[in-house]
Amino acid sequence: MADTAMIVAALLALAPVAAASGITPERQAQLEHMVVQDCGSCHGLTMKGGLGRPITPEALSAHDPRTLAAIILDGLPGTAMPPWRPLLTEAEALWIADYLKKEKAQ
Ligand code: HEC
């Protein structure tokens, strides 16, 4: 019994932090790049707005991450905000939502 608990504890300690979201550090770097390059082309390189509204942590404070992930995946019909579902998984959209809410690149 105690042995099993120790093995489990050891395995958990070895798991990289990123495993919590299931997104590898490499993919996180790609997503970060995408936010600046692709989202930034409309929302501004510092997310303070352009064609699209500001998507800074302050501007998004009223939205919870799941709502934001849904907007990112499906876009906002009738506006220039496109759906990103072809490029992102739900976990990745949620990662971007969390990232925007604690965005440090501004
Ligand atoms: C082609 C331009 C364009 C691109 C590229 C784009 N957006 Fe948007 N986005 C918009 C516009 C325009 C709106 C505002 C729509 C409206 O009038 O409500 C918007 C709205 C949003 C909103 C809702 C903001 C709010 O206050 O409700 C979020 C969140 C968002 N975009 C995130 C993203 C993310 C993340 C990306 C990159 C994966 C992205 N957008 C890429 C144009 C774009």
SS (H, E, C) 22-87: CCCHHHHHHHHHHHHHHHHHHHCCCCCCCCCCCCCCCCCCCCCHHHHHHHHHHCCCCCCCCCCCCC
From the CB of 41, is ligand 1 less than 6 Å away?
yes
Cα 42 from chain centroid (whole Å): 17
- Domain range for 97 is 23-101
Q: How many domains does the chain have?
A: 1
15-29, 41-55, 88-102: least confidently modelled range: 15-29
From the CB of 57, is ligand 1 less than 6 Å away?
no
Q: For residues 97 and 92, give the distance between their C-alpha atoms in angstroms, rounded to a whole number.
A: 9
What are the tens digits of pLDDT across the range 47-97?
Answer: 999 999 999 999 999 999 999 999 999 999 999 999 999 999 999 999 999
Asked if residue 34 belongs to a domain, the reply is yes
Give yes or no for residue 1 having a pLDDT over 70.
no
The CATH number linked to 83 is 1.10.760.10
Residue 26 alpha carbon to ligand 1 centre in Å: 24
Closest CA to 48 of 92, 96, 105: 105
Whole-model pTM? 0.81
Contacting residues for 92 by C-beta, under 8 A, at least 6 apart: 23, 27, 31
- Higher pLDDT, residue 101 or 10: 101
